[in-house]
Amino acid sequence: MTDGTVHTGGCLCGAVRFRVAGAMRDIVACHCGQCRRIHGNFAAYSACGKDRLAFDETGGLAWYASSDRARRGFCRECGASLFWEPEFADHVSIAAGALDRPTGLRLVKHVYTDDAPDWYEIADGLERVGRSMYGDAP
């Protein structure tokens, strides 16, 4: 059941387009080493239930097993990093930058702040979690 809201988004080249039925989680910034390497900086993700994510274009969609507990979705055409999908939960995280505007979302938390590099400071006053917001999850 959704509230009638629909969010849309996609990659840079358009080879992956998706939509989410219903509200999405506000944005969490992840500073872990994997996210920094995939995105070139910290990553900002929203999320939704896996059952609420649908694809309109999948020609470029590819998945990479980034650990034994999660995979990452990206566009094999333009290289855009789009999704993080843990096997231990019923949601998929969606790169906030891939969402079409307006989103109505806001940044609410930072995770894996213990892994943040020494070349930027997290100084926005939002909640900070040293490791994962999912306990010992990657």
Written as one string, the DSSP assignment of 6-53 is EEEEE-SSSS-EEEEES--PPEEEE--HHHHHHHSS-EEEEEEEGGGE
| CA–CA dist 95, 47 (Å, integer) | 8
Residue-wise pLDDT tens digits, 81-129: 999 999 999 999 999 999 999 999 999 999 999 999 999 999 999 999 9
Residue-wise pLDDT tens digits, 50-63: 999 999 999 999 99
CB 83 within 8 A of CB 92: yes
Give 133's pLDDT tier (boundaries 50, 70, 90).
Answer: low
Q: What is the dihedral sign for C-alpha 108, 10, 19, 89?
A: negative
pTM of the model: 0.91
| CA–CA dist 40, 21 (Å, integer) | 29
Indicate the class that CATH gives domain 6-129.
Answer: mainly beta
Query: What pLDDT does residue 108 have?
Result: 98
Residue 33 has pLDDT above 80, yes or no: yes
Q: What is the dihedral sign for C-alpha 33, 37, 42, 45?
A: negative
